[in-house]
Structure 1
Amino acid sequence: MGPWQEVPENSLLLATRAGTRVVPLPPPADAVSGLIQAATRHTTAAPARSRSAAASADPSTATPAPRFTLDQRLPADYLTDSLRRDVVAGLSATPKILPPKWFYDARGSDLFEQITELAEYYPTRVEERILARIAPEIAGATGAATVFEPGSGSSRKTRLLLDALTARGTLRCYAPLDVSPSALEQAGAALIRDYPALTVAATVADFEADLTVPHDAPSPRLITFLGSTIGNLDPTERREFYDMLRADLGPADAFLLGADLVKDRDVLVRAYDDSQGVTAEFNKNVLHVINRELGADFDPDSFAHVALWNEEEERMEMHLRSRYAQTVKVRALDLSVDFAADELMRTEISCKFRRDGLTAELSDCGLDVRNWWTDEAEQFAVLLAVPSR
């Protein structure tokens, strides 16, 4: 039996087979709400105080810095304007193309969460198992004080890294970046509740155009890009992404990437064309989004979901196939679009990678792969890269 231990107020003594530890209890829900309200009022445009004024201020009357801040870098009409540009360009192209980011309204996000639970869809499940195994090793290799995550969403898998870095005692800041303020606020509320010593510096931005880490985020920094989102970018887009990333990396920083690997064609096709039809509904959701936001008259039932393996490009592709010749009107754009019978409209690419090729393209952009982890079946990889010397 170990020695007696005094437990501070608002704490819990947790006993497990691994030993005992004191865990601070989260603040009540109304306290979290107050933190979020204070944070969303924070703006980077606030006038700076001089160093002498700060030094002479009465500490007893100073307002503590909020643990959650939200930096809005997008204009109010950014998403609407982007959707308009993408729909005009994509429906006027040959072949027609719609970017996959427009799947993800509230309904689309819910459908994707359902997809991650399907037996056929392995990437999320396998990546989480890898991260659970290697998170302590990543924490030891990086000693990160800040975790910066572009396209963070709910930040679910990232908690494995936050736990490992917290246990190591280096983590001070989590800096998520996403186009959705509400997703950032919800994730931020949960994180400051569950990690009492953590500061969350959220940024509303589009990672395809802005990968700047918050200027006051402490170093060293770990930039994470999980979920094989990198596969949604073609080679030119990936090069632009790596170049933006490399420009913002300091010598002590590191980049953690999740990437889906080339494998048996049937395994890949089943992952993007499940037996329950959830992926088909997810694919068609882009039509619902355009109907709602731009006054289009797409009939989703007049399109069929198609998942194809592109052998030459080594990527999965999702398409919508017009079941018959039809014309679609997009009223907000004063646009009329003709579809031929069986015409395909591409809605997503998901590139799959080989170790040599992915390592080479990172090296070409000034990033050296130091660690490469995978599962036993080598379906998915997580790799850690650092700036080239």
Structure 2
Amino acid sequence: MPVSAFPASALSSATTGNPPPAAASLVSPQLAQHVQEGLSRPFKTLSSMYFYDDEGSRLFQQIMALPEYYPTRTEFALLTRHQVAIGEALRPHDPAEHFFLLELGAGDGLKTKILLRQLLDTAARFTYVPVDISQAALDGLTASLQAELPNLQVEPVVADYADALRLMAARPGRKAVLFLGSNIGNFFPDDRLRFLRDLVQPLTSDDRLLVGFDLQKDPRRIRAAYDDSQGVTAAFNFNLLHRLNRELGADFDLTHWQHYTDYDPLSGAVRSFLVSTQAQTVQFAALNWAVEFAAWEMIHTENSYKFTPSGIAETARQAGLAVQQLFTDDQRFFADALLRPMDLA
């Protein structure tokens, strides 16, 4: 399989015991700053982006296999059902024209391979460009693609999403951008709008975006997906505290914390929290810093918004996009929205 990567010069920018203090040289400045800012707020918060260390990624793989967690298997079925129509919508009108299929945060590529096989089977002329900030993640994906789809042209890009799109904008041909899964739902509304505007800014009216949206449905089904009976989602949330113990020399005692999730159908937001069950002080040895927690005080760790079709259309409009097609599963649990940049004229 032909594989090339852009050179770095081309890119713009379960224990409850106390661990030994983290070595100062190993402390991530970004993580340290984020933790100090988030836990100093009146309503404490930590970003879900820090869930995904090696253990967090392993736990999320378990979550995706849970009977309560419908999003992954539902989108997989959706893509399988609509693969022909989606493939046709992503490629240029001229079948002889070469285009770029960019994927933001490709992961293991399991769902994407449905579309890749469809495009290869129809002799589409394209290059697959998986984008991630993790070189290791891209290396793993590239190796699996080389084994399974040896004729696929691949150009992995290690970069921030917006940087990668700006870099690719200079290349001739249509850009079809994938942002699958329900990742768009992890943004607060203002951040979501800003993110989409950043994505659309370098695109032309001929380019396309395919974005996954988890739809509103039975509130009990939604809540169960984020608080499963086996406690895997709880372990995923707790892993954030394990990581702070390991990397920042914190002394979180998990016997004094609970996982809590709620769902607000009015806003469409699932919110996840870590709850302190008693008044306690947590030391961060690597930061020479301590945080006081009152009994039943919470740390907000994640949002996951659910959408309506009209809400998707309005979000797209505000970002300078229009919904060209909305692909859904039989139960209308999930949607992959094909978006096109609005003409500015």
What TM bracket, shorter-length normalisation? 0.7 to 0.9
**Closer, same or farther in 2 for the Cα pair 1:217/1:121, shift >3 Å?**
farther
Q: Is the 8 A contact 2:157 2:164 kept in 1?
A: no
CA distance in 1, matches of 2:171, 2:200: 17
Which residue of structure 2 aligns with residue 66 of structure 1? none
Match for 1:371: what amino acid?
Answer: Q
Which residue of structure 1 aligns with residue 237 of structure 2? 283
Which residue of structure 2 aligns with residue 189 of structure 1? 143
CA distance in 2, matches of 1:73, 1:303: 41
1:114 equivalent in alignment to 2:68: no
**Closer, same or farther in 2 for the Cα pair 1:232/1:340, shift >3 Å?**
same
CA distance in 2, matches of 1:158, 1:175: 12
Which residue of structure 2 aligns with residue 126 of structure 1? 74
Match for 2:65: what amino acid?
Answer: E
Q: Is the 8 A contact 1:162 1:171 kept in 2?
A: no
1:43 equivalent in alignment to 2:33: no
Deviation at residue 44 of structure 1 after TM alignment: 5.1
CA distance in 2, matches of 1:100, 1:328: 20
Q: Is the 8 A contact 1:148 1:213 kept in 2?
A: no
Which residue of structure 2 aligns with residue 93 of structure 1? 41
Structure 2 stretches lacking a partner, 5+ long: 14-24, 93-98
1:336 equivalent in alignment to 2:290: yes
Q: Is the 8 A contact 2:258 2:274 kept in 1?
A: yes
CA distance in 1, matches of 2:66, 2:54: 19
Q: Is the 8 A contact 2:325 2:339 kept in 1?
A: yes
**Closer, same or farther in 2 for the Cα pair 1:208/1:323, shift >3 Å?**
farther
Aligned counterparts, 1:1-389, within 5 A: 43=7, 45=9, 80-143=28-91, 145-207=99-161, 211-214=165-168, 219-389=173-343
Deviation at residue 376 of structure 1 after TM alignment: 2.1
Q: Is the 8 A contact 2:131 2:164 kept in 1?
A: no
Structure 1 or 2, whichever has the larger Rg, is 1
Q: Is the 8 A contact 1:304 1:320 kept in 2?
A: yes
Match for 1:96: what amino acid?
Answer: K
CA distance in 2, matches of 1:208, 1:118: 33
Most deviating of 354-363 and 199-208 = 199-208
Deviation at residue 194 of structure 1 after TM alignment: 2.4
Structure 1 stretches lacking a partner, 5+ long: 1-26, 28-34, 46-70
CA distance in 1, matches of 2:216, 2:100: 32
Which residue of structure 2 aligns with residue 51 of structure 1? none
Q: Is the 8 A contact 2:241 2:252 kept in 1?
A: yes
Count of matched residue pairs: 326
CA distance in 1, matches of 2:11, 2:148: 24
RMSD across aligned positions (CA): 2.3
1:162 alignment partner, SS class:
helix
2:243 alignment partner, SS class:
helix
CA distance in 2, matches of 1:92, 1:236: 22
Task: Please report the TM-score for the alignment, with normalisation by the length of structure 1.
Answer: 0.78
Deviation at residue 204 of structure 1 after TM alignment: 2.2
Most deviating of 353-362 and 143-152 = 143-152
Deviation at residue 382 of structure 1 after TM alignment: 1.1
**Closer, same or farther in 2 for the Cα pair 1:191/1:153, shift >3 Å?**
same
Q: Is the 8 A contact 2:102 2:128 kept in 1?
A: yes
Deviation at residue 127 of structure 1 after TM alignment: 0.6
CA distance in 2, matches of 1:146, 1:310: 39
Match for 1:113: what amino acid?
Answer: Q
Deviation at residue 82 of structure 1 after TM alignment: 2.3
Deviation at residue 138 of structure 1 after TM alignment: 1.3
1:212 alignment partner, SS class:
helix
CA distance in 1, matches of 2:100, 2:156: 12
CA distance in 2, matches of 1:253, 1:192: 27
Q: Is the 8 A contact 2:71 2:214 kept in 1?
A: yes
1:97 alignment partner, SS class:
coil
CA distance in 1, matches of 2:208, 2:88: 12
CA distance in 2, matches of 1:82, 1:172: 37
Q: Is the 8 A contact 1:146 1:218 kept in 2?
A: no
Q: Is the 8 A contact 1:291 1:298 kept in 2?
A: yes
CA distance in 1, matches of 2:244, 2:147: 36
Deviation at residue 155 of structure 1 after TM alignment: 1.8
* Moved segments of 4+, more than 6 Å: none
Q: Is the 8 A contact 1:155 1:187 kept in 2?
A: yes
**Closer, same or farther in 2 for the Cα pair 1:256/1:297, shift >3 Å?**
same
1:298 alignment partner, SS class:
coil
Deviation at residue 72 of structure 1 after TM alignment: 6.5
2:273 alignment partner, SS class:
strand
